[in-house]
Chains A and B, each alone.
Chain A
Amino acid sequence: VTRHKHLLVFAVASVVAISAAGAVSSASAADSGTHTPVTITVFNWGQGGDQYWADANKAFEAKYPWITVKAESVPFEQYLQQEGAYINSKSGPDVMANNVGLELFERKTAYLPINDRLTPDITGQLTTYKWGCENFDTTQPCYGLPQSFQGNVMYYNVKVLQAAGLDPQNPPATWDAFNAACDKIKATGKACIAMGTGSTVAYWDYPEIARNYLDEQGIVDQFKGKIPWTDPRMVNILKRLAEMADKGWFQDSASTIPMLPDGGDVFTSGNAGFIASIVSDVFNWKQWGDAIGNDNLGVMPWPVIDANAPLAHKFSGVEGFVHGVTSWSQHPDEAFLYVAWLAGADNANLFLQEAGGQPINKAFNASLITNSPSFTKIQTLIKDPTLHAGVLLSGKEADALSRGYQQIMLKQITVDQWVQQMQAALVASPEKKP
């Protein structure tokens, strides 16, 4: 009997042990099932530089070790077309980037709405994320999360201004003063503004003129296609842009070269006094400072045309690029983790330090940057933002604006003809129904 008892105890113990082992094994299997190795492909224009993205992806992979990030980037001037190829074939990257506004909305069907995945711990630290959402309303479908806060300023070369007899501490603040400064700079054999054409005309130049003619309602109406380009306000914006070329503010080659990188080279080579550029992402204070020296770099708002205009002294500030999860992604959960991580606090200081980006996550530490007077000044300039008219142009309008500007510079068309071309582009914009 004792022997039988021992056998029974042994059998029960064995069953319990086997069951326990099975349970542990099952738990492990479930765990490994959750963390099946996944590779996600990320497509953007390398905003911030290759080194930043390499480090960012490395940091992300360290936090989520079962996810491998495969990065793919092309220069922005070719980005939209290549992205269009992915979109039309409904295949490709798991994560893509776009600038907020109509650039994103015109491609919104390529992205999964992410509202269900957004939690307060993700969005709570963001200054804003509504520009990636329908009608700028976070209760409506949102297609991505921003990483940067973006807007336009003018950078200048302190030595070039000094050589022209100008005071770099008091750069020209009005349109007329700027024209006078340009005359002095040109007298030294330099160009006043380093310029090239391309999509930057719509994003970097147009909104800074538009602020002098449109109030916030006007900018919204322009976004909705309610203001034709024949409207006197819009005509005046084009006239002022044309005036910049007519007055000879740009170098001779401005109409024949793209802004990126050729126009930038004119500035970094010391052949121009000013360059109209942006505060974050690329071609920012860090990139210019690295090229010509932080102490040699100054920054200022665009000169004011009409001091009485409601937005004349504002900053055209907007969320920069957003990353979103593509609608065809086979790994939307992992892709969203990546998108959320980019917008998160972990990435904010990395983005600031390595790329010179202006994080939209409030957790960033501005005191990390101690060697750039321009960065310090930018933190003041961006405090009073208004709507950014540039990102509310359709792709057709942005393209027509750039091509028309080339033609204006070459005196191939008049402003009136430019107006007609812009109106045709507006009518042909599917997202804008005048």
Chain B
Amino acid sequence: VAVARPPPSPPRIEVRPATRSPRLNLLRTGRRTDDQRSWWGLLYLLPALGLVLPFKFVPLVSGFVDSLWHLVDVGGAGQFVGFGNYARMVGDPEVVAAFANVGRVVLTLPVWVVSPLLVAFLIHQRTPGWRLFRAVYFLPYMIAPVIVGSIFREILGTSGPLNILLRSVGLGWFAQAWLGGINTALLAVVGVSLWSFFGLGVITYLAGLASLDESVLEAAALDGAGFWRTLLSIVLPMLRPVVSYWAVLCLGGMFIWMFPLLFSLTQGGPGYATMLPEYLVYLTAFQFNDRGYATAIGIVLFAVVSLASFWIVREMYASSVARERA
């Protein structure tokens, strides 16, 4: 009986971090070395700082300063109002409606997060036709949102193809003014947005799924885990960083990506049913020429998005650290 010999242990390869290079080792000795490392670090930071400072930080500070002024005249000095623009927002029903609407949109976040994951997992499972679906789902993302809005403005019109289809299949009772109803307009805008951005979510999840250890999925299958069990108990926990990343993207999108669709679909109407803060900023600044107030709304919008994103990223980081410790 041949006794299987244990395989020879692989040669021990010492992986040396890049910092162990002789040159850097030399740099790490002594105070002079630390100073030089600091300079090198700053040098590496320069390109990023060169972009962030003039194009992010300066406009942000400048915007905040503008938000403290009442600016309605071109070239006019304006009038310093302190936090008056912020106080005005509290009692402004349009601002309240806009932020309430974006709150409603955020409530749909689970759908934005889960639905592309489902489709991505199906594609990853090589469901029949997966190659076609992979392309089809991504295609809408390749169409400019303004074009998407124009297309859906026709499709969702009172006499548009959707209602014609509904009537032709005996669902005429369901046909309605999708973009005109107080209960349907915002949902319609969200639906069109999701249709447009869905493909990016699918591709993002597919990239995450491709990085998973196949043996874990095979083991789950051998243990008899079905589709849902595998998805919920295996895939979802392993993909948590990707899910969090996508959730941050979606959340930011809900606050600041909807503009082209609002512009081409509803212009914030009917009434204020689809008015979102970003569109209100646009109207206030460019139609009503009330730049100080528009900037104040924009600053608040920025703060809300930042806080929400910060919270999600922090949760993502915390869960990642916890997983590594486990």
Contact = CB atoms under 8 A, between A and B. Distances in A.
Interface of A: 77, 80-85, 87-88, 90, 106-107, 109-110, 197, 252-253, 255-258, 327, 395-396, 399, 403-404, 406-407, 409-410, 412-413, 421, 424, 428, 430
B182 A410 contact: yes
B287 A256 contact: no
B177 A256 contact: yes
Contacts, number: 92
29 contacts: A77-B267, A81-B287, A84-B289, A106-B289, A109-B73, A109-B75, A110-B74, A197-B269, A252-B158, A253-B159, A253-B180, A255-B180, A255-B270, A256-B270, A257-B157, A257-B158, A327-B74, A399-B287, A399-B288, A403-B268, A404-B271, A406-B180, A407-B270, A410-B271, A412-B270, A412-B273, A413-B271, A424-B92, A430-B290
Given A253-B180, A255-B177, A256-B179, A87 B272 contact: no
Contact of B270 (A109, A403, A424): A403
A326 to B, nearest CB: 10
A430 B76 CA distance: 14
Contacts of B177: 252-253, 255-256
A407 B74 CA distance: 33
Given A81-B283, A256-B179, A406-B270, 15 more contacts: A77-B267, A81-B286, A87-B74, A109-B73, A252-B177, A253-B159, A253-B177, A255-B270, A327-B75, A404-B271, A406-B271, A410-B270, A412-B271, A412-B273, A413-B271
A49 B267 CA distance: 24
B288 A253 contact: no
B76 A109 contact: yes
B182 A424 contact: no
Given A255-B180, A256-B157, A395-B288, A90 B270 contact: no
Contacts of A407: 270-271
Given A256-B158, A424-B93, A406 B269 contact: yes
A395 B289 CA distance: 9
A45 to B, nearest CB: 14
Interface string B244-288: 000000000000000000000001111111000000001101111
B82 interface: no
Given A253-B180, A255-B180, A257-B157, A109 B74 contact: yes
B288 to A, nearest CB: 5
A236 B222 CA distance: 76
B185 to A, nearest CB: 8
Contacts of B74: 87-88, 90, 107, 109-110, 327
A255 B274 CA distance: 14
The secondary structure that dominates the A interface is helix
Given A403-B272, A424-B93, A85 B288 contact: no
A396 B73 CA distance: 16
A76 B123 CA distance: 46
Contact of B93 (A257, A421, A430): A421
B29 to A, nearest CB: 54
Nearest to A412: B182
B103 interface: no
A36 B189 CA distance: 52
B235 interface: no
Interface in B120-137: none
Most buried by B among A252, A327, A410: A410
Contact of A84 (B182, B267, B286): B286
A57 to B, nearest CB: 26
Nearest to A421: B93
B287 A80 contact: yes
Contact of A256 (B180, B283, B286): B180
B202 to A, nearest CB: 31
Contacts of B159: 253
A430 B290 CA distance: 9
A410 B270 CA distance: 8
A90 B75 CA distance: 8
Greatest chain A CB density within 10 A among B158, B159, B289 is at B289
B228 to A, nearest CB: 40
Nearest to A111: B74
Contacts of B180: 253, 255-256, 406, 410
A106 B75 CA distance: 14
B293 to A, nearest CB: 9
Nearest to A431: B72
B53 to A, nearest CB: 21
Nearest to B268: A403
A161 B181 CA distance: 31
Nearest to A409: B270
A406 B179 CA distance: 12
Nearest to A109: B74
Contacts of B273: 412
Nearest to A413: B271
A416 to B, nearest CB: 14
A400 to B, nearest CB: 9
